[in-house]
Amino acid sequence: MHTLNETHNPQLRSWVDSANDAGTDFPIQNLPFGVFRRYSSTESFRVGVAIGDQILDLTTAQSKSVFTGDADLAAQACCASSLNAFMAMGAPAWSALRLALSRALRDGYALHSALSTCLVPQADAEFAVPAQIGDYTDFYTSVHHATNIGKLLRPDNPLLPNYKWIPIGYHGRSSSIGISGQSVHRPVSQVMRPGATEPVLAPSARMDFELEMGIFVGPCNALGEPVSIQQAEQHVFGMCLFNDWSARDVQGWEYQPLGPFLAKNFASTVSPWIVTMEALAPYRQAWTRAEGDPQPLPYLDSAELREQGAVNIELEVFLQTAAMRERGMAEHRLSHSNFRDAYWSVSQMVAHHTVNGCNLQPGDLLGSGTQSGPTEGEAGSLMELSMGGKQALNLPSGETRTFLEDGDTVVFRGACNAPGAARIGFGEVRGTLLPARSLA
């Protein structure tokens, strides 16, 4: 796992003034990577780094000869329309470029006037999914979410016996993963309505969000060669916010015996910026397992995991209805939780995913599964917040919700705070539900 270095110094300040603003998600201690172009332009998408309210265009910056050695090689890999080549280079290259960027963006940097011409305001940019995602696997790492859902579906046996032994996951659909701002049509599929004896083809009536973290894979492992838990995070580039949209009525009818299918594969949305694992180093915490719970099998356990396997990421869910937008009302916070409460860690997901010899590829995406906390206000889905649709949520507009309605916009935000460290954030992931397409 990454150790602290000079890039994490909370006293660092940038010559990009907005990076020094209190509360910015993107101070110089963060430096997340994404893919962008100027809004509504015909430019090619290219790799950039967020700094304050600006983006440093790495293709332009690399042409200024401000990088040398390993950092320059890494910057050359970033002269592309996706991050896959850079992801494949591994942690030494990522760290070298991050250090060079940190030094180049600090107050007092001699060539800052040259680099200032490489900045593009985030407000003037549009974004693309930051990597070509070859494969996507969704996990189920929150024991609180698993228990809450289990109580709704199986009151007498809410948590299945394998949950505390194995990181549960399923292979999802990468082609329908979009970038923040995505508009999602209400999906149509088979549903079995309450009291019915036969299913019908119909738009989902129980649309939901799932508050997740996305984990992007870096270097690959060869087919047949597992990744040990000690090496797992060397294969992880970074993390983003992730909304795994879900059609709960479709899911309830189709998921037995093979699990999610059309209820999940119609859309998922990622945030534009990937915060690197190195940037997250100050916010690591001890990973614990309750004494009465089974302890992980040896391939899922290590001293490093116990010492700093958890990540303190504060997460929030907001909702803005169409009526709220029309009335100029801000988004309403529905819930908050923290990724440190995940029952299974990032390293355990990677180690288990590959223990059978499965080969991960640069740019592959792992979803953490819905991140819910131990209290009522920490549920990461409407399915939990509304008790399966039985308990409506009251909104400040006077409206109520059990599940999402057409026109609703869902927003996730995330940030890291720790004593003696700068606050860093993930930005946001935003998506809007549109009406179902006509069945005619």
Which tens digit of pLDDT belongs to each residue from 71-118?
A: 999 999 999 999 999 999 999 999 999 999 999 999 998 888 889 999
pLDDT in tens, 179-198: 999 999 999 999 999 999 99
Q: Is residue 107 domain-shared with residue 236, that is, in the same domain?
A: no
Q: Is residue 387 domain-shared with residue 358, that is, in the same domain?
A: yes
Q: Is residue 283 domain-shared with residue 226, that is, in the same domain?
A: yes
> Out of 2, 144, 145, 235, which one is annotated catalytic?
145
Q: How far apart are CA 365 and CA 267, in angstroms?
A: 14
Domain termination residue (choose one: 100, 128, 156): 128
Tell me, yes or no, whether 63 lies in a domain. Answer: yes
Domain termination residue (choose one: 128, 163, 193): 128
Work out whether strand 409-416 and strand 314-320 pair parallel, antiparallel, or are unpaired: antiparallel
Tell me, yes or no, whether 154 lies in a domain. Answer: yes
**Contacts for 235 with CB less than 8 Å, ≥ 6 apart:** 217, 218, 219, 220, 221, 227, 350, 360
Q: Is residue 168 domain-shared with residue 68, that is, in the same domain?
A: no
Q: Is residue 350 domain-shared with residue 393, that is, in the same domain?
A: yes
Going by pLDDT thresholds of 50, 70 and 90, the confidence category of residue 156 is confident
**CATH for 359:** 3.90.850.10
Q: Is residue 183 domain-shared with residue 252, that is, in the same domain?
A: yes
Q: Is residue 168 domain-shared with residue 305, that is, in the same domain?
A: yes
Q: How far apart are CA 48 and CA 71, in angstroms?
A: 15
Going by pLDDT thresholds of 50, 70 and 90, the confidence category of residue 245 is very high
Tell me, yes or no, whether 439 lies in a domain. Answer: no
Q: Is residue 197 domain-shared with residue 81, that is, in the same domain?
A: no
Enter the DSSP assignment of 438: P
Tell me, yes or no, whether 189 lies in a domain. Answer: yes
Indicate the number of domains in the chain.
2
Domain termination residue (choose one: 128, 159, 174): 128
pLDDT value at 153 more than 90: no
Per-residue pLDDT averaged across 255-265, rounded?
93
Tokens encoding 22: 């209190």
pLDDT value at 357 more than 90: yes
pLDDT at residue 440, as a whole number: 64
Percent of the chain topping pLDDT 90: 94
Q: Is residue 124 domain-shared with residue 140, that is, in the same domain?
A: no
Per-residue pLDDT averaged across 246-253, rounded?
96
| Domain of residue 351, residue span | 136-434
Per the annotation, the verdict on 235 as an active-site residue is: no
Tell me, yes or no, whether 282 lies in a domain. Answer: yes
Q: Is residue 74 domain-shared with residue 221, that is, in the same domain?
A: no
pLDDT at residue 161, as a whole number: 92
Q: Which residues pair with 281 in a beta bridge?
A: none
Beta strand extents in 76-176 (DSSP E only): 119-121, 125-128, 136-139, 169-171
Tell me, yes or no, whether 379 lies in a domain. Answer: yes
Exposure on the CB side of residue 24, measured as CA atoms within 13 A: 22
Q: Is residue 113 domain-shared with residue 153, that is, in the same domain?
A: no
Per-residue pLDDT averaged across 325-354, rounded?
98
Single pTM value for the model: 0.97
**Contacts for 92 with CB less than 8 Å, ≥ 6 apart:** 70
Q: Is 305 helix (H, G, I), strand (E, B) or coil?
A: helix
Tell me, yes or no, whether 1 lies in a domain. Answer: no
Q: How far apart are CA 188 and CA 202, in angstroms?
A: 5
Q: How far apart are CA 237 and CA 99, in angstroms?
A: 15
pLDDT value at 178 more than 80: yes
Going by pLDDT thresholds of 50, 70 and 90, the confidence category of residue 157 is confident
pLDDT value at 437 more than 70: yes
Q: Give CA 87 to chain center in angstroms.
A: 16
pLDDT in tens, 207-222: 999 999 999 999 999 9
Tell me, yes or no, whether 440 lies in a domain. Answer: no
Q: How far apart are CA 21 and CA 30, in angstroms?
A: 13
pLDDT value at 394 more than 90: yes
Q: Is residue 22 domain-shared with residue 159, that is, in the same domain?
A: no
